[in-house]
Amino acid sequence: MSSFRFEKNPDISYAINALVSEESSDFSKEDLFRILEESMANSIEYAHGEYGNTVVKINRTDGSLSFYRNLTVVDSESPNVSLEISLQNAQEIDANAKLGSNILNPLEVMSFTESMVRTFRSSLNQKMTMARKEKEYDRFQNMIGNLVSCHIKRSSNFGLLVIVGKTEAFLPKNQLMKQEVGSYSPGDSIQAVIKDVVRSDVNTQVILTRTTNEFLGELLKSHIQEVGDGTIQIKGIRRFGIWYYNI
């Protein structure tokens, strides 16, 4: 089994250090290590024509890399060496190996070639993009019904494209109050409630509203202290009034 450290591979080391530094606030360290391991496995498989069963393990303490094939234990003296391992050979690695189980068989990888590094970087970028999208989707999914502040980036006949934090969101025309339509310009700040979050292959689409009862309720909570702290509790909202009582 081959084992080498990040500092012996400057391109890999640079990518790892940059990633950990840049993404530390959005991802756990373990998440980052997992993405790095999967990206390295992809680069090895691309270079050597493997079958999707390469496993890379990064030692969390000293940064060394270890490589394996995840093989299925079979009752055969001539297994497909890329996918399978005989029971006898498997038990030389792990005495408890059984037929049908899987075992990590050490794989020799002496160095990362230039093409492997390129594949690693490409795979890493793709996986990080997917992970960011997943994080973004989960974050906004948990915020449905919440009031958010945003500023308008662009307006159109269909509604307003706005920025919530660093994320683009859409406030459809039919989710604006009638008197508001056409009254906003790029750069204006507004508040809205997150109505829905739609996942797509390209991005996460956040849909906002300013017409629902939830919006009015959240607006009252943010602007009236007694509502926000629960002294006054809203029991219901209708277009012609608000029911509330004092606690």
pTM tops 0.75:
no
CA atoms within a 13 Å half-sphere pointing along the CA-CB vector of 180:
18
pLDDT exceeds cutoff 80 at 112: no
pLDDT exceeds cutoff 50 at 1: no
Rounded Cα–Cα distance for residues 247 and 237 (Å): 18
Q: Residue type at 17?
A: N
Rounded Cα–Cα distance for residues 16 and 5 (Å): 12
pLDDT of residue 60: 77
pLDDT of residue 132: 86
pLDDT exceeds cutoff 70 at 14: no
Q: Which residues is 57 bridged to in the sheet?
A: 66
